[in-house]
Structure 1
């Protein structure tokens, strides 16, 4: 059986995840802006902010 203590550490992909989240959020908001207008983008941005704040509060 293989010894599990000799495995290399897993890479940290946190920075890449944050960058890709920003890129995806940007293009999604641009598509919403083109299709439904600036008011829909503002409402979506407010909703995303609200969800992120609730997650932050839940994490303590």
Structure 2
């Protein structure tokens, strides 16, 4: 049974979560750049891109 005190609709926090993740990535990349240089930042960016691509392929395969 539904709790009558809960709101009828729940807000969508997807855009906020993506924005928050992007802001965090910027400062993490900056700290890695200052500490180790540009090459580790590029390697980290390629690794994150690869993981996102694999996740996208897995989620699309599950839908099909």
**Match runs of 1:1-60 below 5 Å:** 3-4=1-2, 7=6, 8-60=8-60
Aligned residues: 58
Q: Deviations over 1:19-50 (max 9, x none)?
A: 00110010000000000100000000000000
Give the superposition deviation at 1:9.
1.1
Instruction: Give, in whole Å, the separation in 1 of the partners of 2:3 and 2:32.
Output: 49
| Superposition CA RMSD, Å | 1.4
Q: Which runs of 4+ in 1 moved over 3 A?
A: none
**Structure 1 gap segments, 5+ residues each:** none
TM-score normalised to the size of structure 2? 0.83
**Structure 2 gap segments, 5+ residues each:** none
